[in-house]
Amino acid sequence: MKIKNIFKWPKEIYIFWLVDFILGIQLMGPILLIFFKEWGGLNQTQTQMLQSWFMLWIFILEIPTGIFGDARGKKFSVMMGYMLMIIGTLVYSIIPNIWLFILGEFIFAMSTAFISGAKEAWVYDVSVNLELKNKYRKISVISSNLQMLGMILASAIFIPISRLLPVQHIFKLGIVSNGIALILLAIFIPSTDGKRKKSLKPNYLKIAKNGFELLKNNVTLRKLAVYISILGSTSYFVIWLYQEALNVLDIRNEMFGVYRIVLLVAEIVMIRIGAILLKKCNLKKAYVSLAVVVSIGFLLAAFFRNTVGVLFLLIFAGGLGLQIKGLLSKELNEEIDSDQRATVLSFTGMVSRLVLTIFNPLIGFVVDSRGVFVAFAVLGVVSLLAVFFKPKFKLK
């Protein structure tokens, strides 16, 4: 972006960007393996089963919370999400107890479900109200980049902080970033849902029915949702497994932050490359290329079984795969009417969560029984299946 254009955005857009940057400055990312395996005493299967519990509850809560966002307001839904995130963080980091982990994951699931769909729809609606609809993809890309920059900063300070604080206290630092995000959004970003009478009871059934009807009748939307779900689900395991691969290769824990920086820089670079690809190429070829690149990242890691392979994994499978939803958010939003946007976006998240609910323990079992590099091979093959669900768009 040119420097002279940085200061030409409305303040609401700056607040969204600032919030995503602040949320990026959380130190949980570099300590996943340490937190769950060393402090929590869990193996990979148990860790992934805990994530399945998390995904299952998001799956259950996605549509109800999406309807809540459409009926009561996207802003209020997002506020609820961040408040629950703070509570969940406190519960999760008290002591290493499986029942507290289960309760914490349930609270996190409720929080994520409130934010999922509602925040994205809120940003899109604000952009439309500010006559920035054509700039929405750019706003989304910048937002993702700023969150990545926050994560890079967090990864860079991980080494000194890890020597000063125990892992559970590092985890608790997430309360600060979520609290600041909650305050900024509450004060500076207006609701986009219009005024409603307090006594008006929303027709939840009608809202849900309209949302499902749109999904039922829109083939492009359905395929797009499945495509995003496949690549988003496989790339999700990069976050959970790359540290295990480094552990197998006898890489010191302090170096996890360095490899995480590689992943985050790759995400910033790959989302820009992906955006150019979507703009310059016809969408059919672009969608095939995206799926193939993600698959190659997994397969090269499985083949090399060394730090070079892990780098390929982080750059291709992680760097591109973890940004698929952000890259394709414009196409997804354009297929949905504003009144049902939060509900339908929640549904697309719901599909992804269901896939992960099923595959989390399976991938965890593969890691514990056959090794992490075999798991990478499986994920590479699954990623290729997204090619068969590429949506049909008119050629550019």
Give me the number of domains the chain comprises: 1
Residue 394 within a domain: no
pLDDT tens digit string along 123-139?
888 888 888 888 887 88
Q: Is residue 184, in this structure, part of any structural domain at all?
A: yes
- Identify whether 396 is part of a domain: no
**Residue-wise pLDDT tens digits, 52-100:** 999 888 878 877 877 777 777 888 889 999 999 999 999 988 889 999 9
Reported confidence tier of residue 111, pLDDT bands at 50, 70, 90:
very high
CA 13 to chain centre: 20
* pLDDT number for residue 207: 52
- Averaging pLDDT over each range in 33-37, 40-44, 144-148, 292-296, which range is the top one? 292-296
- Residue 307 structure tokens: 């730090």
How far, in Å, CA of 339 to CA of 361, rounded?
36
What pLDDT is stored for residue 1 in this prediction?
44
State how far the Cα of 225 lies from the Cα of 325, in Å rounded to an integer.
9
356 near 72, Cβ under 8 Å?
A: no
Distance CA 292, CA 2 (A): 32
The answer to whether position 224 is within a domain reads yes
Which of 22-26, 191-195, 368-372, 388-392 is the least confident region?
A: 191-195
Does a structural domain hold residue 87?
Answer: yes
Nearest to 101, CA basis, from 119, 89, 112: 89
Identify whether 94 is part of a domain: yes
Per-residue pLDDT tens over the stretch 301-317: 999 999 999 999 999 99
Domain span at residue 72 reads: 11-191+206-389
Q: Would residue 200 count as lying in a domain?
A: no
108, two tokens: 């996190």
Asked if 47 and 100 touch (Cβ cutoff 8 Å), the reply is no
User: Domain containing 117 — which CATH number?
Assistant: 1.20.1250.20
Joined tokens for residue 380: 């590479």
Mean pLDDT computed over 289-295 = 93
State CA 38 to chain mean position distance: 25
Burial label, 394 (beta-carbon count in 10 A; 0-12, 13-18, 19+): exposed
Through-space distance between the first and last CA atoms of the chain, rounded to whole angstroms? 24
Whether 375 has a pLDDT exceeding 50, the answer reads: yes
Residue 40, in any domain of the structure:
yes
Rama region for 218: left / alpha / beta (φ>0; ψ in -120 to 50; rest): beta
Q: Which of 76, 106, 264, 100 is nearest to 182 (CA)?
A: 76
In this structure, are residues 17 and 146 in contact, taking their beta carbons and an 8 Å threshold? yes
Residue type, 240: W
- Beta carbons of 353 and 58 less than 8 angstroms apart: yes
